[in-house]
Amino acid sequence: MKISICIPAYEAPRLLFRALLSVVSQSGEGFQTEIVVTDDSRSDAVQNVVRQFQDKGTDITYVRNQPSLGAPGNWNKALRLATGDVLTLLHHDDFFLRNDYLAKLAQVYSSDPSIGMTMARSSWIRPLSPTRLQRGPSKRQILKLNAGYMLELFGTNFASTPSAVTFRSQCLEDYDKQFKYLLDVDHYLAILKLRSPRVKRLDKPWIGINVEDPGQITNAIVFRNPDSIKAEWKALFAKWAPRDFLIRRLGATKISKALEKDGLT
């Protein structure tokens, strides 16, 4: 089984080095690794890091985007270049916590052809803080997804980052360029609605997530323009039209008024 690790990079060579090191350090049987790096940087910093690994014999597909594509375009480019059976989008500031992660994925996908997507728990790592928060889906949340209640993702992105999610290549959908903060939630919904994969929960913290970094897309939006988050949630609701979900949660009268107020009726 070929597993494609797709890394859409933008500057941050030190963090990219850590991400790549966590990939090449994987061990075990039953899988072949493909590494794809797409580079939106203005400088040569990312390319120089990639060359360090290539010079030591690591096979990496590297593409420099000219002009730069922006986050959604860069993410899509990396995924579309992949040729693996299973794909994952590893952010350059995230990394694999355990060196048997890919072996675990190979075992999960090989043992059950009905599984089309995995969601792993992750450990959130803050600079200068010894405390690590763990995030990820609960057993109940995965049961609901597999029962068809994909709209459980609204209001709480329990899947966390794309780095903690993998899927079979036939489940691939593009990231929607209208979103920035909610790119990942929209992508999960697209896969779940259009491809209907069975989701498997990986209950250990397999992924290290770098948080509170000034270079993070999420932090840049949250702290500089919080109103953009509200606008994106409205766009996401409008796109997927989850009225049945809202009615179950809030009641027909309340949600009807809310939709009318927000101009979604």
Domains located in the chain, CATH noted:
2-224 (3.90.550.10), 226-265 (no CATH)
**Mean pLDDT for the chain overall:** 87
Task: Using DSSP, state whether 217 is helix, strand or coil.
Answer: helix
171 is written with which tokens? 């489940």
pLDDT at 255 (0 to 100): 47
The answer to whether residue 99 scores a pLDDT higher than 80 is: yes
What is the mean pLDDT of the segment spanning 29-41? 98
- The vertex-33 CA angle with 29 and 38, nearest 5°, equals 165
Per DSSP bridges, beta strands 86-89 and 165-168 are: antiparallel
Highest mean pLDDT out of 26-40, 124-138, 145-159, 209-223: 26-40
Phi/psi of residue 211, nearest 5 degrees: -120, 165
Q: Find where tokens 């995924």 sit.
A: 79
Question: In this structure, are residues 201 and 159 in contact, taking their beta carbons and an 8 Å threshold?
Answer: no
Query: Does residue 133 surpass a pLDDT of 90?
Result: no
The pLDDT of residue 252 = 46
What are the pLDDT digits (tens) for 237-255?
888 865 655 555 555 455 4
pLDDT bracket for residue 211 (50, 70, 90): confident
Percent of the chain with pLDDT over 90: 68
The pLDDT assigned to 62 comes to: 99
Percent of all residues in the chain with a pLDDT value above 70, rounded to a whole number: 83
pLDDT of residue 138: 94
- What is the distance between the terminal CA atoms of the chain, rounded to a whole angstrom? 47
Q: Which residue has the higher pLDDT, 159 or 169?
A: 169
130 compared with 99, residue with greater pLDDT: 99
Q: What was the pLDDT predicted at 247?
A: 53
Q: What is the pTM of this model?
A: 0.87
The mean pLDDT value for 23-49 works out to: 98
Cβ contact 132:92 at 8 Å:
no
Check if the beta carbon of residue 132 is closer than 8 Å to that of residue 125. Answer: yes
Burial of 233 (0-12, 13-18, 19+ CB in 10 A): middle
What's the rounded mean pLDDT across residues 133-149? 91
For the residues 208-230, what does the mean pLDDT come to?
65
